[in-house]
Amino acid sequence: MSSRTTGPQAAQADELLSSNGSVQQPLKSDVAQSEEEKENVFLFAPNLIGYFRIVLAIASLYYMPLHPRTCSILYSVSCLLDALDGYAARYFKQSTTYGAVLDMVTDRCTTACLLVFLSSAWPRWAIVFQGLISLDMASHYMHMYATLSMGGSGQSHKNVEATRSWVLYWYYHSKTVLFICCAANEIFFIGLYLLSFSSPMLSPSLLQPVQGSDNPWSAGALELARANKIDSFWPWVITGVSAPIMALKQFINVVQMVKASKWLVEGDVANRRAARQGKKN
């Protein structure tokens, strides 16, 4: 005697049976849509790492004026996590446009904040640091915008064809090169930051006696206090070693900005040509 399905199971079986007795399979689009509704991109693992990077960066800014060791550690960990979030995105298959933008914005803002401090530490060289901030932001913004507008909304800014620029292709397609260039760039600026606390050669005013002020919280007294916190040997070493790679990174920024500008102009020319052709037709 064959078994019969009763109750809720029978109702479910009736729903899956069509009028001709065939079983109706759930639509794939409905299944995919239900899975997408369960996903929260904001809580993806690489994005959580990105939020933690922001917290560390803010903490480093808090300690930046008077605590070089603590600031350098927090800032360095935030930068190193930049490599970890990319690995997490690939491992968990959670690469998203939001995550890529979050990562780039975090990098640009943290570097800019450090360069702002260097501008205040060495006002005579402020125009150099301001120029580096402008180049970094302009280069990456134009590259990202050109990629999205010309390559499509789903195109990654790291997918650069060799025919467009072999320098950018080499830079973005080699994880080793990308990591070394980005890490050395940040290390150079961290080295300069540490030198602003320790090198009388670069900041002679740090060792000048404070006249006319016995206040331990005066600007001059604080400068003396921070000047004696660390030795300048290792800051000089890391700054000197990373300087050539930092210069290479700035050259790549220039190439990236120029290539993005040309790509955008190609799109403008094509759009204007299409508009003229449309009017003739």
Comparing 222 with 148, the larger pLDDT belongs to 148
pLDDT at residue number 1: 46
pTM over 0.75: yes
Is the pLDDT at 92 greater than 70? The verdict is: yes
Comparing 21 with 119, the larger pLDDT belongs to 119
In a domain, 16, yes or no: no
In a domain, 28, yes or no: no
In a domain, 137, yes or no: yes
Look up residue 264 and give its amino acid: L
- CA dihedral angle for residue 143, residue 182, residue 115, residue 74, rounded to 10 degrees: 130
How many CB atoms lie under 10 A from the CB of residue 211? 6
pLDDT at residue number 204: 65
C-alpha 100: how far from chain center: 7
In a domain, 171, yes or no: yes
In the chain, how many domains are there?
A: 1
Three-state SS at 17: strand
What mean pLDDT is predicted for residues 139-161? 84
- Containing domain of residue 233, as a range? 40-151+161-204+224-259
The mean pLDDT of the chain is 83
In a domain, 90, yes or no: yes
- Per-residue pLDDT of 31-73, as tens digits, reads 555 555 678 999 999 999 999 999 999 999 999 988 888 999 9
Residue 190's domain is classified under what CATH number? 1.20.120.1760
**pLDDT band at residue 219 under the 50/70/90 scheme:** low
In a domain, 183, yes or no: yes
In a domain, 175, yes or no: yes
In a domain, 47, yes or no: yes
Look up residue 55 and give its amino acid: V
Comparing 51 with 100, the larger pLDDT belongs to 51
Identify the weakest region by mean pLDDT among 64-78, 191-205, 260-274: 191-205
Is the pLDDT at 196 greater than 60? The verdict is: yes
Catalytically active residues are 107
- Alpha carbons 224 and 197: distance in angstroms, whole number: 9
